[in-house]
Amino acid sequence: MKKVFLVENNCCGSGFNVLLAPLQKRLMNEAKVEVINLARTGDQVIIPKEIREKIASNGISFLPAIFVDGNLVSEKRIPNLMEAIELVQHN
C-alpha cells in the first residue's frame, strides 16, 4: 500500500480536507491517505522524515504538497480530485 501524505499549513480554510474522504474511498485498496496540517497539529505529531527534511531545507513555501511514498509529487497548490488520484496512481 502506498503511503500518501497531504501536507499543508492551513489555519482556517478547508484546504486538503475536501479531498481527504473521496481520496481515501477511491484509493482504499491502493494507498493510505492522511492529512498533515502544520497549523493545526497538537504537541505530538509524527511528521515523516522526508517531509521534515524538505521543510528543514526549503521552509514551508512549497506547501500545500503531496508526498507519495516519501516522494514529493505536487507542490504549491492543492490539485483537484482527479489530478490527486492520478498523481497517486502514477507515482
Query: CB 3 → other proteins: shortest distance, Å?
Result: 20
What is the DSSP-derived secondary structure letter of residue 43? Answer: S
User: Using CB under 8 A as the criterion, what x/- string covers residues 22-51 for binding other proteins?
Assistant: x--xx-------------------------
Binding of other proteins by 11 (CB under 8 A) = no
Of the candidate residues 86, 87, 90, 91, the single one contacting other proteins (CB under 8 A):
86
Helical axes 17-26 vs 81-89, angle rounded to 10°:
50
How far apart CA 90 and CA 10 sit, in angstroms, is 27
Of the candidate residues 7, 36, 55, 85, the single one contacting other proteins (CB under 8 A):
85
Query: CB 26 → other proteins: shortest distance, Å?
Result: 6
8 Å CB contact between 84 and 23: yes
Residues in Cβ contact with 48 at an 8 Å cutoff, skipping those fewer than 6 apart: 3, 5, 67, 70
Point out which span in 4-12, 17-25, 42-50, 66-74 binds other proteins (CB under 8 A).
17-25
